[in-house]
Amino acid sequence: MRIAAILEYDGSCFSGWQRQDQARSVQAVVEEALSKVADEPVQVTVAGRTDAGVHALAQVIHFDTTAARNAYSWVRGANSNLPDDVAVLWAEEVKNDFHARYSATGRYYHYIILNRPIRPTYLARHVTHEYRPLDVASMQDAARFLTGEHDFSSFRAADCQAKNPVRTLRQLEIYRHSDLVHIHAHANAFLHHMVRNIAGVLMTIGAGERKSSWAEQVLEARDRTVGGITAAPDGLYLVSIGYPETMNIPVVAPAFPQIVD
């Protein structure tokens, strides 16, 4: 049978999602926990691989197994074998044509910037710190150049393996709550480092180093070297993955909506 599951994890102490020989990965600890529940080796497929330091509020996976377990057993059994920084929020049997990655219709990311002169304490590794005042209005103005279907070559990592750099950025919102500046991005799919590179451009504009129109210039250049910094991973959250309603994958509300709302 095929099982789909939704995961929440703190990426601070992981080298990223993907299994690596000499580093701690989310994939490795999840597969180890599920294998113990199934009493057989389990390999999972993920909706979107996250980088080192990136967090997930509702990452989606699927796996195939011959083990007969109910939903409660998958969730409770996996969580009893997972470290404190990873949890299974939901698990159910799904149709065999469900695919965590290829069935997805959209991805939602959220980037959080603590914008104050003093560095974070309890929010360290969970927000990006920018000490310079950010002008949210200019960041919002820049966002309009990036929404829609574009070639995002200037916003992807040099080692990005995607064959096609064209993506549809359906929504890019920037707003402030007190000292926190939020960037919310929704697209059909994202390139490697795309959200962090967009955040880097927007922060540069917000800090007054560039005008809003620079975002359009970077986009049209189709050259990563003109795009400035890649923002830190600490403030990046994979919020949710969208699927057709017929697949019955639930939308999980964030545990802390006041942080990622």
Q: Annotated catalytic sites, by residue?
A: 51
Answer for the pair 21, 209: CB distance below 8 angstroms, yes or no: no
CB atoms within 10 A of CB 99: 16
Closest CA to 164 of 190, 186, 199: 190
Cα–Cα–Cα angle for 87, 90, 91, rounded to 5 degrees? 110
Answer for the pair 167, 150: CB distance below 8 angstroms, yes or no: yes
88 vs 75: CA distance, rounded Å: 6
Question: Which residues partner with 106 through β-bridges?
Answer: 242
Backbone angles phi and psi of 117, in degrees to 5 = -65, -30
Question: Which residues partner with 206 through β-bridges?
Answer: none
Element (H, E) at 168: strand 166-177
